[in-house]
Amino acid sequence: MSQTRHVPVMLQRCLDLLAPALEDPGPRPPVVVDCTLGLGGHSEALLAAFPTARLIALDRDKEALRLSGERLAPYGDRATLVHAVYDELPEVLDRLGIPRVQGVLFDLGVSSMQLDEADRGFAYAQDAPLDMRMDQTTGMSAAEVLNTYPPGELVRILRQYGEEKQAKRIVSAVVREREKDPFTNSARLVELIRNALPQAAKRTGGNPAKRTFQALRIEVNGELTVLERAIPAAVDCLAVGGRIAVLSYHSLEDRLVKQVFAAGAANTAPPGLPVVPERYQPRLKLLTRGAELPTEEEIAENRRAAPARLRGAQRIREEER
């Protein structure tokens, strides 16, 4: 597995967003958390750009941790790699005895390594076992979801997580086929989707299997459920002045991040108060106007950057207990 192929998305912009919180020579070294270690591209850049910072990096994929461990070995004990899902951040920091951190980075979605390793079943462009688990030691595979979920539940998943307008057609075909022979591989599912869709639906938006594969991946890994817990938890872990940057790759993730940031940046006082008490003041300041997009140059260099959306926020007030 070549690590050179992995180009971190919107890398410089992420570093710029986090820099003011990580360059400060305070009494203790700043701590930055990479919640989605993957192949370690963002983590390596953070360690190189901020020589006094300590890095805590999380990933649920043991193979990613092994490969990144090799890549980050030159940084010695400045990097602590942890096998965990990113909504477990508060527990991880608690175990490490770190009350607050200065920076948090999320690079959501599926990692380059998972897409590139055919046998993981994430990519619809090549035949592979329908697995899609980011942590292959636990949970149901995509094949099990396809073969065992009731039709109504499959329709809901495809609509909600894949924003697939043709969910009913696809699920009807899946149910018909799985009764003959359970699904095991991606190529059969891709072919079924192609055959199930009307001509007009096949002409737009790239590979017609894309939305179904996204929906299955999100369901298998509980991505949105985990993210709903993870973003507020990460904000809570920030010290005052600390910054968070989140890269998302589809509208469902981006919407969730936007809602958490907007709620944190809002004044929550009842209307009509002449003076707003401290407890109602915003606790976050937004650092991006809406979601920032990758440049055309970056997309030309790294096609996986195309759907990326970046949002940043700064913690400006301590929570009143």
Q: Are 212 and 71 in contact (CB under 8 A)?
A: no
Which helix (H) or strand (E) segment is 53 a member of?
A: none
DSSP symbols for 129-145? BS---SSTTSS--HHHH
Q: Consult the annotation and say whether 40 binds a ligand.
A: yes
Establish whether 86 is an annotated binding residue. yes
Specify whether the CB–CB gap between 41 and 72 falls below 8 A: no
38 is in an annotated binding site: no
Residue 270 — φ and ψ, nearest 5°?
A: -60, 145
Beta-carbon contacts of 35 under 8 Å, excluding residues fewer than 6 positions away, are 58, 86, 89, 104, 105, 106, 230, 234
| Count of positions (residues) in the chain | 321
For residue 41, say whether it is annotated as part of any ligand binding site: yes
Q: Is 83 annotated as a binding residue?
A: no
Q: How far apart are CA 120 and CA 118, in angstroms?
A: 6
What H or E segment, with its residue span, contains residue 196?
Answer: helix 186-196
Sheet holding 79-83, edge to edge: 79-83, 54-59, 31-34, 101-107, 238-248, 309-315, 284-286
Question: Binding site for S-adenosyl-L-methionine: what residues are annotated?
Answer: 40-42, 59, 86, 107, 114
Question: Binding site: what residues are annotated?
Answer: 40-42, 59, 86, 107, 114
